[in-house]
Each structure stands twice: as C-alpha cells, then as structure tokens.
Amino acid sequence: MSEFEKLKIVTKYELLKQFRRRRFYGALVLTLLAVILIIALYKGLDIPGKLSPLISDSPELFALFVTSAGATIPIFAAVFFAGDSIASEFEHKTGYILFPNPVKRSTFVVGKYIACLTVTSLIVIFAYVATVIALVGIYQQLPIEVFGSLALALVYANSVLGIAFLYSSALKGSMGATIATLLTIMLVFSVIEVSLIFANIDPWFMHGYAGDSIASVYGVPFAAAFGGGMPGGMERNPDPTTSFFVMLGYFIVPFILSIWLAKRREML
C-alpha cells in the first residue's frame, strides 16, 4: 500500500474524530453568535452614520466590518482544532497505539493537518455564509470582493494551522501548544508589528498585517473607515497578493518544522 493510500486513511479517520467532538459544533454555534453580534453592533450603533461624511454605508463597508471584526474566527478555529493534534498523541498516550503501525510519522502529521484544515475551513466558510445571507438580506447586493476576502481568510487560517502544528509538535501538552499559538499570534506578532510601524518600517511581512488583507480586499481605505492611519503617514492597506504569499510562508515554514519535530519526537 502506498503512503498516499495511508494518508487518505489517516485523513478520513482524523476527520471522523473531529466531527465526533463537541468542539466542532461548539465552534459553529460561537461563530454564528459572533457574526450576529457584530451585525447587531454595526446596525445598532449606526457605525456607518458615525463614519459619515468620510465614508457612506455600502455593502462593501458592511462586509469589511463584519469579516474584519470576525478575523479572529480563523485564529480561534485553527487553534481550537490544531493545538492538540500532535501533542495529544504523546500527552494522552494514544501514540502507543497509532505510531507502531507501518506508516511514516510525516503521513500522520499531514493527515491530521488536512483534517484540521477541513474543519477550520468549514467554520470560516460558515461565518462567510452568514455574512453573505446578511448582506443579501440587508442590501440585496453581494460584492464580489467577499469571495476574495474568504479566500484570504482561508489562507490566513491555514497559516495559523502551520504555527499551531509547530507548537503541537514541539510542546509536551495540548493546552501549552494552544496557549503558545494564541500568544504568538495575538501578542508577540502584534508587538513586533507595532514596533516596526513606530520604527517607520513597512510591516508587510508580518502575519497580522498580511491578515488584514482579508479586509483591505474590499477596497475601502482603512484610514477613512476607522480613522486610524499609521505613524509616518503609512497607509495600512496590505496588498492582497503579497499578503497571500506572506501567509503561505507562515504556513510552509512552521509546518515543515512541525513534520521534522514530530519525526524526531520520542514516545517517552
């Protein structure tokens, strides 16, 4: 049997595992509640009215507001599913049953990654479907940029998965891996990015900045929309194409490291 056949089997059963867990359905419910809350705040607080006359209400502004405020959804979804993917095999000793099989460790890691990517993508797509329904319901319009934003959100979620897999392969516990991923993305990367901005260095290569392309793809200027320019007069307007490759890099490098670490890791 080829390694590809084994990969298909690993992925299938990893998916079964993910769909059996309550956390998948919990994540769907939380995502729906988050989107409803953001829409309610947008309308209830009359956000477009507050931004007027700099910018007027439009389907693009609505979509930008909902999807950018919900940009944390890919982070939490990816961390939710990937944090324990490798670490738990060692922590909960399930690796004693799984690893003494004639399957390469890298095949297990890739299979687990595909399953995590699938469930994470489903959560992100679900958030966008809710946004699209709201857009059509409120504006009877669907800006084409929503699909570009969705594509970038999926790439962003993928980059978070790469980082989560790295920590999951390197750290002893699932909880530690989950917290380390969140701290890296939401604190360490943010601190570096802000420091770069204050040093007048364009942070196009930073994870969070690239992630902002999820919103910038709508073509609504950030500074106009949220009154927040950057020091030195820089526009916070990440280029979607550049950001796509940056996020891909944030996936590829940690994920390759994750495979290397998982292969070397011992079942102590």
Partner 1 sequence: MRESIVIEGLSKYYDSFLALDNLSLKVKKNEDVALLGPNGAGKTTALKLLCGLLHPSSGTAYINGVNVMEERERAISMVGTMLETPEFYPFLTPVETLSYLGRLRGMSGQGLKSRIEEVIKLVRLEGWAKVRIGKFSRGMKQRLALAQTLLHDPPILILDEPALGLDPRGMMEVREILKKAKKKKTVFLASHLITEVVQVCDKVALIDHGHLLVYDSIPRLKRKYRTSLEGVYLKLTEAAI
C-beta of 22 vs 50, nearer to partner 1: 22
C-beta of 93 vs 141, nearer to partner 1: 93
Q: How far apart are CA 195 and CA 106, in angstroms?
A: 37
Q: What's 231's DSSP letter?
A: G
Q: Which residue among 44, 49, 53, 102 contacts partner 1 (CB under 8 A)?
A: 102
Which amino acid makes up residue 42?
Y
96 binds partner 1 (CB under 8 A): yes
Q: Which residue among 6, 28, 41, 142 contacts partner 1 (CB under 8 A)?
A: 6
Q: Which residue among 50, 140, 228, 268 contacts partner 1 (CB under 8 A)?
A: 268
* E strand or H helix that includes residue 72: helix 72-82
* Residues whose CB is less than 8 angstroms from the CB of residue 35 and which lie 6 or more positions away in sequence, other chains included: 66, 70, 127, 130, 131, 134
**Segment interacting with partner 1, rule: CB under 8 A, options 16-24, 32-40, 120-128, 136-144:** 16-24
20 binds partner 1 (CB under 8 A): yes
100 binds partner 1 (CB under 8 A): yes
21 binds partner 1 (CB under 8 A): yes
Applying CB under 8 A, what is the total number of residues that bind partner 1? 25
**Segment interacting with partner 1, rule: CB under 8 A, options 53-61, 90-98, 145-153, 207-215:** 90-98
172 binds partner 1 (CB under 8 A): no
Residue with tokens 């959100």: 153
Q: How far apart are CA 46 and CA 235, in angstroms?
A: 25
At 225 the three-state DSSP class reads helix
Which amino acid makes up residue 172?
K
Q: How far is the CB of 190 from partner 1 (least distance, A)?
A: 35
Half-sphere exposure of 39 (CA within 13 A, CB side): 19
Q: How far is the CB of 105 from partner 1 (least distance, A)?
A: 9
104 binds partner 1 (CB under 8 A): yes
Q: Which residue among 32, 41, 58, 99 contacts partner 1 (CB under 8 A)?
A: 99
Q: How far apart are CA 202 and CA 143, in angstroms?
A: 29
Burial of 140 (0-12, 13-18, 19+ CB in 10 A): exposed
Q: Tokens at residue 174, please?
A: 């699932």
List residues near partner 1 by CB under 8 A.
Answer: 1, 6, 9-10, 13, 16-17, 20-21, 92-97, 99-104, 264, 266-268
